[in-house]
């Protein structure tokens, strides 16, 4: 039985650059950066030559994991939100307009427009999509 979410994960090309983005621009707290030995990396991923480095960030109710394949790196894929298998993470943000300005000042471009959710549990909240340096989609929604 599933009890709760432990973490959400993205694969990145360069963990050091991703740490700067997620910590310094998005404002998440970096918890840990560590390497995984080749035996564990291969066993957990099923990729024969995998060696990975992992960074964990803390959000209020979940952790975000970023993985860089030091060995066994795959090819970039089209992670556009319209493609089956694509994913995104959504963060609740306070002071939505100020946060969007923070993103823009740091060179982050929105994928579309800032919208207001028309229906559902987030009705009437502002929302926007943008990507990290590896094109992973991030959504922010007004708290």
Closest CA to 132 of 1, 5, 2, 24: 24
Do residues 29 and 60 both lie within one domain?
yes
pLDDT tens-digit map of 28-73 = 999 999 999 999 999 999 999 999 999 999 988 899 999 999 999 9
Number of folded domains in the chain? 2
Do residues 61 and 107 both lie within one domain?
no
| pLDDT value at residue 4 | 86
- Residue 62 domain-assigned (yes or no): yes
> Which residue range(s) make up the domain with 103?
88-142
Q: How far is CA 103 from the centre of its chain?
A: 15
Q: What count of other Cβ atoms lies within 10 Å of the Cβ of residue 101? A: 11
Name residue 131's beta-bridge partners.
137
Q: What are phi and psi of 99, to 5 degrees?
A: -65, -40
Q: How many CA atoms lie within 13 A of 43 on its CB side?
A: 5
Length of the chain: 143
Do residues 43 and 12 both lie within one domain?
yes
Do residues 94 and 58 both lie within one domain?
no
- Residue 48 domain-assigned (yes or no): yes
Q: What is the CATH number of the domain that holds 109?
A: 3.10.180.10
């Amino acid at each position: 039985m599933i009890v709760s979410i432990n973490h959400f994960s993205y694969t990145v090309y360069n963990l050091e650059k991703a740490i700067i983005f997620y910590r310094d621009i998005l404002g998440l707290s970096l918890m840990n950066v560590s390497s995984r030995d080749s035996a564990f990396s291969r066993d957990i991923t099923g990729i024969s030559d995998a060696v990975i480095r992992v960074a964990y960030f803390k959000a209020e109710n979940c952790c975000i994991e970023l993985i860089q394949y030091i060995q066994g790196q795959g090819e970039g894929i089209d992670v556009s939100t319209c493609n089956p298998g694509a994913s995104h993470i959504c963060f609740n943000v306070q002071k939505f307009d100020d946060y969007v300005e923070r993103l823009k000042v740091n060179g982050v471009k929105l994928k579309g427009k800032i919208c207001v959710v028309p229906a559902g549990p987030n009705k009437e909240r502002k929302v926007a999509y943008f990507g990290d340096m590896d094109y992973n989609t991030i959504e922010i929604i007004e708290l």
